Amino acid sequence: MSHPIQSPFVEIERADWARLAPRMPNPLTEEEVRRLRGTGDRLELREVAEVYLPLSRLVSLYQESAARLHRETTAFLGGTAQPTPFVIGVAGSVAVGKSTTARLLKELLRRWEGSPKVDLLTTDGFLHPNRVLEERGLMDRKGFPESYDRRALLGFVSRVKSGEAEVRAPVYSHLTYDIVPGEEVVIRRPDILIVEGLNVLQPPPTSGSHLAVSDLFDFSIFVDARTSAIREWYVERFFALKASAFQDPQSYFHRFADMSDAKARAYSQDVWDSINGPNLVEHILPTRPRADLVLRKADDHTIRSVLLRKV
């Protein structure tokens, strides 16, 4: 007789999760929340207090526990090794709000006891340059796993995790839609590193002894919502960018600035249906069960529940 597979997660409804909020004032102002909010996202100060403040406290507890275990293990082994950075992965679809979650988490974590040094890295910098994608016929698959230099990303996180004094990563420009030649971001031994990207929870590309970047995470978060809702958010974001960033003559997408609303809607829907939607279904959603925590959004962008992996 077969038995149903039990979920490894416990689901906590929004109201119950909000009651876990620490008894402390929200450390962020309306202006700071506005600055952290991504294009098309609808993050409000109340949501920060009810959802993200307790989330940051939970993550800080994991980080403190990991640091304590490292100290005790080092003492047990008679060593003097420096603590290694606590690495957090944040995954989810295009337009779901994962970048806002990552930026917000960075701001909140660094305000906890001890004021830990928190750095944030987006995996966009590890996309292959456009010329390479064009050579390989991958421009229409930008964002799919094969469009990234996964070896370089794994090497970067491995070096950070091993405690190297300085680790450098390429920089991606959303204005030019390409890697910026000669520019780098430098990570210098943070207490916490947040790695945000579409495919950061991917398993190794092949079976065997290979390592994936997700194997180096100490905690991971997946930002989730109904696919139909994300599709509409993507279209709304395209319109918002059309009225703002695309107006810049230097923008890769400047040619869309004067597109009619009807054509803009049809174009953005087609991009979703042919690229972002398939990537979500085929590659991103299957990694959701690998997360330690899932933030489930309602159709209005607010968090409706939290799934936490059972300890």
Over the stretch 129-155, which tens digit does the pLDDT of each residue have?
Answer: 999 999 999 999 999 999 999 999 999
Residues 6+ apart with CB under 8 A from 120: 102, 103, 106, 193, 194, 196
Rounded CA separation 184/284 (Å) = 27
67 pLDDT band, cuts 50/70/90, is: confident
Averaged pLDDT for residues 258-287: 96
Q: What is the pLDDT of residues 180-202, one digit of tens each?
A: 999 999 999 999 999 999 999 99
> Does residue 28 register a pLDDT over 90?
no
**Smallest Cα–Cα separation from 197: which of 216, 220, 179?**
220
pLDDT of the residue at 193: 97
Give the residue among 295, 301, 284 at the shortest CA–CA distance from 102: 295
Supply the pLDDT for residue 19: 86
**Between vectors from CA 89 to CA 94 and to CA 59, what angle results, nearest 5°?**
120
Give the residues across from 88 on adjacent strands: 194, 219
Tell me, what's the pLDDT at 4? 54
Give mean pLDDT, residues 86-109: 95
Nearest Cα neighbor of 93 from 248, 292, 281 is 281
At residue 1, does pLDDT exceed 70?
no
* pLDDT for residue 12: 94
> Mapping DSSP to helix (H, G, I), strand (E, B) and coil, where does residue 181 land?
strand
pLDDT, position 265: 96
Asked if residue 22 has pLDDT above 70, the reply is: no
| Average pLDDT, rounded, for the chain | 91
Query: b/e for 115-135, b at 16 or more Cβ within 10 A?
Result: ebebbbbbbbbbbbebeebee
* φ/ψ of residue 84, rounded to 5: -95, 155
pLDDT at 89 over 90: yes
In this prediction, residue 30 has a pLDDT band, given cuts at 50, 70 and 90, of confident
Distance CA 102, CA 85 (A): 16
d(CA 101, CA 303): 11
For 110-257, where are the alpha helices, taking DSSP H only? 130-135, 150-161, 227-242
Buried b (16+ CB within 10 A) or exposed e, 140-163: eebbbeebbbbeebbebbebbbee
Provide the pairing of β-strand 293-297 with 303-309.
antiparallel
The mean pLDDT of 153-160, rounded to a whole number, is 96
CA distance 311 to 66: 14
* Helices 98-109 and 53-76: angle between axes, nearest 10 degrees: 60
What is residue 172's predicted lDDT score, i.e. its pLDDT? Answer: 97
Report the pLDDT value the prediction gives residue 308, as an integer from 0 to 100.
Answer: 95
Most confident residue range from 61-75, 207-221, 232-246:
232-246
Residue 2: pLDDT band (50, 70, 90) is: low
Confidence of residue 70 (pLDDT cuts 50, 70, 90): confident
How is 156-177 classified by DSSP, letter by letter? HHHHHHTT-S-EEEEEEETTTT
Per residue in 287-308, pLDDT (tens digit) is: 999 999 999 999 999 999 999 9
pLDDT on residue 204:
85
Average pLDDT (71-79) is 86
Whether the pLDDT of residue 223 is over 80: the answer is yes
pLDDT computed for residue 114 by the predictor: 76
Q: Taking the model in full, what pTM does it have?
A: 0.93
Determine the average pLDDT of the residues in 115-136. 95
